[in-house]
Structure 1
Amino acid sequence: MVFRPVLSVLSVLILGLSALSSAAYAQLSGHGGPVRGVAVAPDGQRAVTTSFDYSVILWSLDRGEANAILHGHEAAVNAVVVLPDGQRAATAGDDGKLIFWRFGDTQPARVVEAHAGRIVALTLSPDGKVIASAGWDGSAALWSTADGSLIQRFEGHQSNVNDAVFSPDGTMLATAAYDGIIRLWNLADGRLLREMTGHEFSVNALAYLPDGALLSGGSDETVRRWNTATGEETSRRIAHKGPVLDIAVAPDGKGFASGGIDGMVRLWKAGEEKPVHALAGRGGPVWALAYTPDGKRVLAAGNDSVVRLWDAATGQPLGDSGGEPVETAAVTAAAPQDKGAAIFRRCGPCHTVTADGGNRAGPTLHGIFGRKAGTVEGYPYSPALLDSDIVWTAETIGDLFTKGPDVVTPGSKMPLQKLVRQEDRDALIAYLRQVTTP
C-alpha cells in the first residue's frame, strides 16, 4: 500500500462498524471512510482492511462478514500485512505507529513508535520474518515480526518515502519516494546499490515480479519495468488517467493489477503492454489492491469506504460488487425526497439510530439529543470525548458540521467533516431528531 495524499471528506460522526448481510459477500462495506489498506490471510478465508476512520477490520471473505473491529491507532490507518502464521497482522498509519495484532484479541499485542511521520506502506519479507515500512519522515525501516524490534533504517531520499518492497530472494530492498527516485539497498550491510530515475513525478508504488524485475507506478500515469541488476528501464506503459496508486502481483507471477486515482483497476499480463481487463469501480481512487492466495480474486480498496472483489480471470465483479454500501434500515425506508435521510446515508454505515441497533464503528445515535458526549455504554471513546463537557443538541451538532471536529472536539478521533450549507445542516438535524428520539 502506497502514496496517500491528505484527504478532506465528508465522513462520519465517529468511528464505526457496519452490519453486513450475507448477500453482500463479495463487497466488504463497513468502514466509515476511505479504505487505505487491504491484505488477505494465507488461508484465503480472511482479509484485514484499514481505513481513514482509524479502524482495522477483520473480515470473513466466505461470508462477507466483519468478524472484529480493532481500535488502536490515533489517526488514519494506511497499511496492513498479515503474517505467515495467519493469526497475526501488523498495521501502520498517520500516527507513525506500527501496531501488531493477534486475531481473537481486541487490544494491540504490541505498539511500536516507528516513524516520526505518517507510515504509508508495509511489506512482508519473503521469509515472513521482517516487515519493511515506508514513512513520510523520509526513511524506510525494517522490523522484526517476532518482537517488533527495529532491525535497520534506510535514509537517503530527500522527500516522503511512499513504498518499500523486498526482492524475491530477500537480499535487497527497493524504496520509492516523492522525489521520483527509486533506490535499491543491500540488506546485508545497508549499502545503497543504485538509484533508478525516469519517472517524471512521484513514484507511488513498487512490486517485484518473481524473475527479479521491478515494477513501479507513478504520478506520471505510468507503470514501468526495471532491470535491477543494471538499473535500466526496460518497458513503460500509460496505465491510468492520473497517478498510479498501487500495484499487486498475482501469486503465480504471470500478471499484476494496478489501481489508480481514476477509480480503475487494470489487470495485466506480465509481458504485455495492454491490459487484459479494465475494471471500473464506483468509488473514486483505488488505494490498495490484493490477490487471494489462489489468484482467483482481486480485492480493491476504494475511496468510498468499500472493498470490492473481482474475478481475476474474467474481470467480472463478484456478487454485488457494483452496488452501493449497505445502509441502515431507517435510511432505506425513508422517502427518496427526504434530504436529511439522503445526507445521513454517509453516516449510516457507522451508526444505528434505533433502540436495539447497538454500537457499530461509532456509537448508536439513538437518544443523542440531550446526551452528554462520550457516555454511550460499551463504546471505546477517545480520552478527549470521555472528558468532554459537550451535550449534544441541535446547536452543538450544527457546530460539529460547521466548524469541524478538530475545533469542536479537539484531540478526538472524529474524522474531518463539514456541511457547508445551512440548509443541509438543518435537514440532517431534523432527520436525526425524527429517527433518534426515543
Structure 2
Amino acid sequence: MRLRLLSLLVLLLAAAPVKAELAGHGGAVKGIAVSPDGRRVLTASFDYSLILWDLESQRPLARLLGHDAPVNAVTFLPDGRHAVTGSDDGTVGLWDLEETRLTDRFRGHEGKVAAVAVSPDGRLAASAGWDRTVRIWDLVARRALLVLEGHANNVNAVTFSADGTRLISGDYDGVIRVWDVAEGTERKVITGHDFSVNMLAAVPGSSSVVSVSIDESVRLWDVEAGREIAEMVGHEGPVLSIAASADGRRVASGGIDGRLRVWELAEQRTVGGVELRTGPIWAIAFAPDGKTLLSAAGDTVRVWDIAADGEIGVAGNDAVAAAGNPSGDTSNAGRGARVFRKCVACHSVTADDGNKAGPTLYSLFGRRAGALPGYPYSDALRESGVVWTEETVDKLFEVGPDVLTPGSKMPLQRMPDPHDRADLIRYLKRVTEPNAED
C-alpha cells in the first residue's frame, strides 16, 4: 500500500518560536543524541568535536575531542554514561562521558563512517561506511565482530530493529538491506526509493523502520514483511534526517528545504512543522518524553516543545540572547561576547578557571602558540611559530586552523564575517588581559 500524502501544516518560524538554542560548535552539526534519562544531549559536528549539554539549562558541560576529522553521527548507550560516534576519519569512537574522554577507537572501515547505531541491550554497535560495508562491533570485548557486505555503493544509514534481532542499512542507490544480527546474514533486500537513502530510524514497539531520501520522501517499512507501508510526501527537495519518538507514535523529518515536519504514523499525516531560514536540517532527535524535539541547522541546535495538539509552539523564552552576554550589552564588546559563546565549552578567559578541553585564553595576546605550560599541545601547534596577536587571531578565524596551523588538532572553525571577527577580538582583548576589569 502506497500513500502519497501532502503535508497538512507548515508553520513559519515567526509563528512558532523555539524554546532555546544550543550554540557552541564551529561547524555544521551532523548528529544529535539525547540521553536515556532526557537530561543530557550530545551533538556531533563538522568541527571535529562533540559537545555534551545539559538540556534543561541548555548549557555546555564539556567539549570532547578525539576524532581526526568531522564527526557525522552520535548515539548514547542505554547506560547513559557511554556514547558511540562515527567520523570522516573512518573510525568508530567509544566515549566515557563521566570521564569526558575517548576510550576506544574501532578501525576497519576504508572510508568515512556516515552513521552509527547501538543495540537495545548496549552490547553491540553498528556502523555504516563509505567503503560499502556495514560493521558490527562488540562493545563489551572492544573488538570487531562482523563485516556485512552486499551493498553496491556507499552506505549512509544504519539502525537496529526495536527488538535488536535485525540490523537495517540503507545506501546511496536507495537500497535497504535487512541483516540477521546473530548470524550476520542478509535476510531481505528492500527497494522503493528512487535515489539515495540518507537516514533510517527504527520505530519503537514495532517491526517498522522509517527512511528518508534524496527523492523527497519519508517512507515507512515493515521490515519482517519487506514491504512499504506508506510514503509520506511534503518536503521540497532531499530529506536529510529522521527520528522516531520513544512511544512509536510520531516521527520527525528534516530536509534540505529547511523544513522540520512532525508526522503521526497511525494516520501518516503531518501534525506540525516549521520552516527554518538557516539552511538544511542535518539532524533531529526526540527526548524520551516525546514532547521535546531537537533539530540542527548549521552550527546551532534548536530545542522545541510539542504542544498537546501536536503543533510546535513556545515552551519558554529563547535563551540565546542572554547566553554569553547576560548584561544585555549591545556594543561591539557585547556582540563579541555573543560570538564567544561558541568557544566557552573549550576555553576559559581568566587565570582562575584554567584549562578546559582547550587552553585558557588568559594572557593570550603576545603569547606564542603552544607555549602555555601544562597543556598537551600537538607538535604541529608548538612548532608553528605563530604568536597570537590581533592579526593572527583574525587570520585564524578567516582561513581556519587547518590553513593557519596545519596538522594541529584545533577544531575546524571559520568566521567569514570580518565584523564578527573584529568584535570577538575586541572582546578577547578586554577580558583576557591580566588585571582586566569586569
What does residue 222 of structure 1 align with? 217
The equivalent position to 1:79 in structure 2, one of 73, 83, 107, is 73
What does residue 3 of structure 1 align with? none
Partner SS state of residue 259, structure 1: strand
What does residue 409 of structure 2 align with? 413
1:369 aligns with 2:365: yes
The equivalent position to 1:182 in structure 2, one of 173, 176, 183, is 176
> Partners in 2 of 1:377 and 1:306 — Cα distance?
35
Displacement after TM superposition at 1:334 (Å): 4.9
Label 1:145 to 1:321 Cα distance change in 2 as closer, same or farther (>3 A).
farther
Does the CA-based 8 Å contact 2:348-2:355 persist in structure 1? no
> Partners in 2 of 1:360 and 1:168 — Cα distance?
38
Does the CA-based 8 Å contact 2:82-2:95 persist in structure 1? yes
Displacement after TM superposition at 1:341 (Å): 7.5
1:55 aligns with 2:52: no
The equivalent position to 1:170 in structure 2, one of 157, 160, 164, is 164
Does the CA-based 8 Å contact 1:343-1:428 persist in structure 2? yes
Partner SS state of residue 109, structure 1: strand
1:92 aligns with 2:86: yes
Amino acid corresponding to residue 315 of structure 2 in structure 1 = L
Does the CA-based 8 Å contact 1:25-1:65 persist in structure 2? no
Label 1:50 to 1:44 Cα distance change in 2 as closer, same or farther (>3 A).
same
Amino acid corresponding to residue 195 of structure 1 in structure 2 = V
Amino acid corresponding to residue 402 of structure 2 in structure 1 = D
Displacement after TM superposition at 1:185 (Å): 2.0
What does residue 14 of structure 1 align with? none
Displacement after TM superposition at 1:419 (Å): 6.3
> Partners in 2 of 1:322 and 1:263 — Cα distance?
22
1:350 aligns with 2:343: yes
TM-score, normalising length from structure 2? 0.81
User: Alpha-carbon deviations, 1:234-254, whole Å to 9, x = none?
Assistant: 321223222222211111111
What does residue 253 of structure 1 align with? 248
Amino acid corresponding to residue 349 of structure 1 in structure 2 = K
The equivalent position to 1:45 in structure 2, one of 39, 46, 52, is 39
> Partners in 2 of 1:247 and 1:71 — Cα distance?
26
The equivalent position to 1:286 in structure 2, one of 277, 281, 289, is 281
What does residue 143 of structure 2 align with? 149
Provide structure 2 residue ranges, at least 5 long, that are not aligned to the other structure.
1-17
What does residue 138 of structure 1 align with? 132
Provide structure 1 residue ranges, at least 5 long, that are not aligned to the other structure.
1-23
What does residue 13 of structure 2 align with? none
> Partners in 2 of 1:325 and 1:386 — Cα distance?
36
Label 1:381 to 1:177 Cα distance change in 2 as closer, same or farther (>3 A).
farther
> Partners in 1 of 2:283 and 2:181 — Cα distance?
26
> Partners in 2 of 1:79 and 1:193 — Cα distance?
26
> Partners in 2 of 1:216 and 1:380 — Cα distance?
43
> Partners in 2 of 1:66 and 1:420 — Cα distance?
24
> Partners in 2 of 1:82 and 1:184 — Cα distance?
23
What does residue 326 of structure 1 align with? 323
Partner SS state of residue 131, structure 1: strand
Partner SS state of residue 402, structure 2: helix
Displacement after TM superposition at 1:358 (Å): 5.7
> Partners in 2 of 1:379 and 1:239 — Cα distance?
50
> Partners in 1 of 2:410 and 2:316 — Cα distance?
32
What does residue 15 of structure 1 align with? none
Displacement after TM superposition at 1:106 (Å): 3.1
Amino acid corresponding to residue 329 of structure 2 in structure 1 = A
Does the CA-based 8 Å contact 1:31-1:306 persist in structure 2? no
Displacement after TM superposition at 1:203 (Å): 0.7
Displacement after TM superposition at 1:270 (Å): 0.5
Amino acid corresponding to residue 326 of structure 1 in structure 2 = A
Label 1:395 to 1:169 Cα distance change in 2 as closer, same or farther (>3 A).
closer
Displacement after TM superposition at 1:275 (Å): 0.8
> Partners in 2 of 1:305 and 1:376 — Cα distance?
31
Paired residue total: 410
Give 1:377-388 correspondences, 5 Å limit: 381-388=377-384
RMSD: 3.3
Displacement after TM superposition at 1:382 (Å): 3.5
The equivalent position to 1:306 in structure 2, one of 301, 306, 325, is 301
TM-score, normalising length from structure 1? 0.81
User: Alpha-carbon deviations, 1:293-339, whole Å to 9, x = none?
Assistant: 23222222332333423336442243335846834569x6352xx5x
